[in-house]
Amino acid sequence: MTSTALVLPGQLSQARADSAQAVIVNVARPADNATTLAQAPAGTAIAATEAGPQKKGIAATAIDKVKEVAKTASDIFSRVPCRSPKGGAKAMGSLPHVATKLAAGEPVLIVAFGSSSTAGFGSTAPEFTYPNRLAAQLHRAYPTADITVANRGQGGEDAPEMMARLQASVIDMKPDLVIWQVGTNAVLRNLDPADTAKMVEEGITQIQAAGADLVLVDPQYSPAVNAKPESASKIIALLNKVAELRKVGVFPRFEVMREWHEGQAMAFDSFVIADGLHMNDWGYACFAQLLGDNIIKSVGQVKLGINVPSNVQALRPM
């Protein structure tokens, strides 16, 4: 059985810091990474205990922390369920390259491209970033498939910086699917929404020319973004317009997160960390779950010969 490749950033970046180099780790099951980390240094912990100190040593404390993180990974939704927005889910559109490769039993490469919320700022461990959560979900859905989710998030960036590294970070990898999270830092930095949309359209053209499926992810609904409602509204509208023009899918993260807050009456601190911008472990996990559900649905439709227009938005709750 082939395993899913989880891409683990060595260190979570600050919102405007350079992201760490990614390391690909192959695991047999999604939980194995956390479990292996917890079990590997067990001898060190025992040695520290047998040496006689009454208090736990550094190694033992670290192991307990890793075990607690592993437990949190498995029960995160048992405490707060991840529900689909009201109105149900619609397919993000056809993902023909991914579907064709999965149907043929060929390896599939997905590149998660974006800024700090792709890199995983705010998560408590690498396995809780949305790309790694997504990889684990796709592995469960396609247990015999060889699927890699590569994390190419870099904190503090938006369209200008992303376009500068698009070739090296994305296209040169020859992905089958690109999930492009963009627009949040454009809002925070007061960038011209029209300029951002133009650059995103240029990037979409290059990605499509490389033969990859594409899904855009718009800004998050959070206090920091909501403080600039006019800019956020313009960015979201223009991203949707570009997606419709270029026939690519959109995952409306802003509306999904607004549904958490307004429709499900969840406080912001239930899914956003103290900076008022980045998601916490639950937020990343639910985002990845809903995104993965739509990828699986889109692939299934293509396999069944159902041609869903790519400009149909996913999870349109409003």
Mark whether 176 and 67 lie in a shared domain.
no
Mean pLDDT score across all residues of the chain: 79
Please compute the mean of the pLDDT values over residues 56-63 and round it to a whole number: 64
Domain assignment present for 313: no
Is residue 310 domain-resident? no
In whole angstroms, how large is the CA radius of gyration of the chain? 20
Strands (E), 61-212: 108-114, 147-153, 177-181
State pLDDT tens for residues 71-127.
555 578 877 889 887 755 455 777 999 988 988 889 999 999 999 999 999 999 999
In a domain, 249, yes or no: yes
Residues 62 and 123 in one domain: no
pLDDT in tens, 244-283: 999 999 999 999 999 999 999 999 999 999 999 999 999 9
> What pLDDT, on a 0 to 100 scale, did the predictor assign at position 62?
58
pLDDT over 70 (residue 64):
no
Is the pLDDT reported for residue 203 higher than 90? Answer: yes
Domain assignment present for residue 41? The answer is yes
Of 25, 28, 302, nearest to 140 (Cα)?
Answer: 28
Strand order in the sheet with 249-251: 22-26, 5-9, 147-153, 108-114, 177-181, 213-217, 249-251
Helix or strand (DSSP H, E) at 8 = strand 5-9
Structure tokens at 34: 């956390």
Structural domain of 119: 5-27+88-303
Rounded to the nearest angstrom, the gap between the alpha carbon of residue 7 and the centroid of all alpha carbons in its chain is 11
SS (HEC) of 161-179? HHHHHHHHHCHHHCCCEEE
Residue 289 has pLDDT above 90, yes or no: yes
> Above pLDDT 70, what percent of the chain?
71
CB distance 76 to 285 below 8 Å: yes
For the cut 80, the answer to whether the pLDDT of residue 54 exceeds it is no
Q: Are residues 199 and 277 in the same domain?
A: yes
Is the same domain home to 167 and 218? yes
